[in-house]
Amino acid sequence: MSPTRRDDALTSLLGEFADRLRGDRWEPDLDAFETEKAFVVRVELAGVRSEELRVTVDGEELRIRGERRPPEPAGVRRLHRMEIASGPFERLVRVPIPFDREGVTAHLAEGFLTVTLPRRAPSRRRVEIEQETEERE
């Protein structure tokens, strides 16, 4: 059951269609994982066009929002089943590693959006050690 679904009589009767009748948002499924070089988020977005997507990074949070428009089938006389969610959506993912904000990329292909957040190289600097000077009288 998706996190946005409710457990009530209307949902029992109509399934996810009840959520759409209420105007609720849907949440696309996603995978989030780390590789040696990056934190990667892959979102299942079949039928969503790139111009309908917005990806932003704010602090440690990745925000993916957009809208999947319902298809307009020609010549439909009677709807028997409606299971494909449509409408606006938003997913927030906390990024658990330090990452290079300028290197973030997003790629939409074959119904999947892949956002790659490259690991930030650890910053190193040499710390000079000060010596205590003795004052002579």
Q: Please state the rounded mean pLDDT for residues 33-44.
A: 97
Spatial contact of 118 and 104, defined as CB atoms under 8 Å apart: yes
Q: What is the pTM of this model?
A: 0.72
Segment 78-133, tens digit of pLDDT:
888 878 888 999 999 999 999 999 999 999 999 999 999 999 987 788 888 988 87
The top-scoring range by mean pLDDT among 5-14, 19-28, 74-83 is 74-83
**Annotated domain spans of the chain:** 25-68+84-118
Whether residue 73 is predicted with pLDDT greater than 70 in this model: the reply is yes
> What fold is seen in the domain 25-68+84-118?
Immunoglobulin-like (2.60.40)
Band (pLDDT 50/70/90 cuts) for residue 4 is very low
**CA 35, CA 114: separation in Å to the nearest integer?**
13
- C-alpha distances in angstroms, 52 versus 35, 49, 87? 28, 5, 11
- Count of beta carbons in the 10 Å neighbourhood of residue 9: 9
